[in-house]
Every structure is written in C-alpha cells, then in structure tokens.
Structure 1
Amino acid sequence: MEDYKIGSIISFGDYNWRVLDIQNNSALVITEEIIEQRAYHDAYKDITWADCALRKYLNGEFYDKFNATDKSRIIPVINKNPDNQWYGSKGGADTQDSIFLLSLEEVCKYFGDSRSKLQNRGKNQRYWFERKDENNSKRIARLQGKEWSWWWWLRSPGRVNVKAVYIFGTDGNIGIQGNNILKGNISDGKCTGGVRPALWLNI
C-alpha cells in the first residue's frame, strides 16, 4: 500500500508521482520528473488551455496509456483557468480534465507556499515571478532518464496567448511572460518544453 502523505513519492502507472495535496480520499499528484518534451500547441496562434494540443494529448493518447484499473482511480475535475495577472491575457474557459498541467496559482501553492507573494505582486515582476522566492528551487525537475534539469510548462497563459507560463530549468523561477507555445524557447536553440502531468487520484 502506498504511503499517501504530502511530499511523498508514489508509483502509479509507469511513473513516480509526488503527492501535492490530499482531500478526503483523493490525492493531487504530479510526475516527479519531466516525462517528455512537447509543444504546448501545434500551431502559432492565440490559444488557451481549453483548446491547446497538449491538453488534447494528455486527456487522450496519454490517458489511454493507463490500464482500466488505473483509469478507474483517476478523478475528472473542473479546473479554473485564471487570466495572467500581470498582462491580462485570457486564461480561457473552465475545463473538465482527467489529466492536466498545473496553473501558475497552483504551482505557487504546492511547491512551498508562495501565495502571499503572488497576491502582493512586486513592481519589478515583469518577466520572472519573484526571482528571489525561497521556493524556486523546489520547482526544479529533471528530464526523465537524464542528469540535467529542464524547463516545464504550466497551463496558464503568458504575456500574450501565443505564449504559456513555464518553470525555468536551472533555478525554478516562474516565467510569467511565457515561452512560445509552438517552438518553446527559440533563443536557446532548443524546441519544446517539458511535460509534468498532474491528476487527482482516488486513494
């Protein structure tokens, strides 16, 4: 029997997952590592989480990798998708998801509690969310099978809706301006961001 405590690592399907929250008989979990690299969307156009290709993949092809027993434990939830608080770009409609990416608000809540900084935003927060936030290092994640860390997507919109917010690979800063939804961080010659699926699990 898995030990479901906040912060513990559990095995489910083919991955190891970190427990972020427990409510009643369910646990919010996220893959401990970045499990793959994918674009947020398959075209360079304004998009929100509700309509992006990555959401379709996670709730379709990726979800279907789980066997029937595991699928029966995954709890569909309604996710809120707030607008970007700095730039006003639209978060889009609420979504019903079996598997999803964390939002900016959720990552501030669950990787050490940085919600007070989110609610009392500093004047200089135009690219990074609180560059000196003591919880940044808790968001760093390795690419599965590799020794190095990588950047990973959140579902929240960036400065404009052809960008999505992300977690910087080397120090865990939250990139509130976002990276290009199709080609990721073009400037460093790399393409796509990391994917750390999250889900609510019946325990």
Structure 2
Amino acid sequence: MEKGHFALTYRNLKPGEFITFGTYPQSVDGKELAIKWRVLQNSGSELFVLSEYILDCKRYHGKSADLKWRDCMEIKWPDCDLREWLNEEFYNTAFSAAEKQFIKTTHCTDNGEGCPDTEDKVFLLSVAEIKDLSEIHGKDLRRAVGTDFAKTKKPDGCSLYVYDKTNKDNYVIRDGEEVGCSWWWLRTQGNKPSRAFFVGPGCSIRSYGNNSIDGYGVLPALNMNLS
C-alpha cells in the first residue's frame, strides 16, 4: 500500500475502531491470519494501536523450557528477552517490508524505576499508559483473550493461562461464546527487579509477576505513521 493511500484510508479512524495490519499465526496449526488492531489514539499524523488479541505467550525474560516460575532474575525492560523478541522475531515475522515503512519508532518511558527510556518499533503498554487509556476506553480494555496459537504449548514451555473458574467477571463474550480472559504483561518493572507488572483477567494491574512465568500473554502495541 502506498503511503498516501494508507494515510487517506486510516486518517479518519476513531478510538475504539479496528484495522487489520500484518499477519501472525493464530490457529492451533499455526496458520497465519491478519492481525486485528484496536485504535487507541489518532492524532491525525499517527495511530496508536493495540492488538485486539493476545498473539503469543512468552516469558518477560528467559527462553529455556527448563525454567520454573521461581527462576526469575533481575532484568530491566531495555535488556529483557521479551523486548528483543518483539522488535526482532515478531517484527520481522508479522510485517512485510512494505508494512514496516508505516511503523514508527516509539520513545517508551515509564519502563520502571531506574530503567532507561527505550526506542521501540513494537512494545508492551506501560502501567501509566494502560491506566490513562482505561479512562478513555473503559476498564474492559484490560480484558484480553488469546488466540488458539497463543494457548498452544511452545518449545520454550510457554502456554497461555486461561481463566476457567467461577468468577463471571473474568469472562467475555466473543463470537457468541463465553471465553475466559488471560493474564498479560506490561513493560514496567514490578515491585522487585526480578518482577514485572501485568494485567489480570479481572482488569487488575499487579506488580508481582516473576519475569520467568511461562503463562502470561503478549499484547503488542505500536504507533503507525499517517504523514
């Protein structure tokens, strides 16, 4: 898609509307499908978007299938494996060369106490961002469900936790079916250097996620250039 046509197509989108952009495996057998993005903000010159679905399950840090949830280590967002994965493997898998020209490099702050700012093509939301965006879109923005691919167990041992207990607040209706929500990572460092913030299925924002947990989801965000 040419830049002028791209900008013309998406410039009038309103927060809460959706676009498709890029592809990623989403079925149990790994079939690639178009990624659905929710528009969070539209400044006229750029779109701030968030994946509507948890696309994969990754540890905040750590790649070995032998890692246990207690095997967390001190790490900051700039150096964690999840940031590297988002900006390398995911970025190169999900987007073509033509699509990459529309993805802005975003200056990410609120990465945690003492954590440097970063420059990212793809990133996770921060605590400050999800709180501010919840004021605009409502707390239901925090309820996330994963694709079938995200739920499948990967070679690194990760598979998405899905709520399956009795609290109905932790479910949403998708395509006419009641679906359990999942936990998903934020980029902000948690209450210890070996932890990160995450969002729970009931919309809670928590600070105590050991960064080696293998069941939390990845909800990518990015900014798209409309100019």
TM-score normalised according to structure 2 size: 0.69
Per-residue deviation, 1:112: 2.5
Residue of 208, 214, 222 corresponding to 1:178: 208
**Contact persistence 1:91–1:156 (CA under 8 A):** no
Contact 2:83 2:123 in 1 (8 A): yes
Unaligned runs of 5+ in 1: 84-89, 115-134, 184-190
CA deviation after TM superposition for structure 1 residue 27, in Å: 0.5
TM-score (norm 1): 0.77
Match of 2:84 among 38, 56, 71: 56
Q: Alpha-carbon deviation of 1:20?
A: 0.6
**Mapping of residues 144-183 of structure 1, within 5 Å:** 144-145=147-148, 147-169=179-201, 171-175=202-206, 177-183=207-213
Question: Where does residue 7 of structure 1 map in the other structure?
Answer: 16
**Structure with the greater alpha carbon radius of gyration:** 2
Q: CA RMSD in A?
A: 1.8
Aligned length: 168
Does the 8 Å CA contact 2:110/2:128 hold for their aligned counterparts? no
Instruction: Provide the identity percentage.
Output: 33
1:29 to 32, 43, 49: 49
Per-residue deviation, 1:148: 2.4
Out of 75, 81, 102, the position equivalent to 2:110 is: 81
The match for 2:99 is 70
C-alpha displacement at 1:91, in angstroms? 4.8
- Provide the rounded CA distance (Å) in 2 between the counterparts of 1:34 and 1:75: 21
Per-residue deviation, 1:144: 1.4
2:134 corresponds to which residue? 111
CA-to-aligned-CA distance 1:41-60 (integer Å, 9 cap, x gap): 01721111111000000000
User: Shift of the alpha carbon at 1:24?
Assistant: 3.2
Query: How far is 1:178 from its partner?
Result: 2.4
> For residue 154 of structure 2, what is the aligned residue in structure 1?
none
- Aligned residue identity for 1:199: L
Secondary structure in 1 aligned to 2:84? helix
Indicate which of 39, 55, 70 corresponds to 1:19: 39
Distance 1:137 1:91, change over 3 A: farther
Secondary structure of 2:83's aligned partner: helix
Q: Confirm or deny: 8 A CA contact 1:112 1:138 kept in the other structure.
A: no
SS in 2 for 1:178: strand
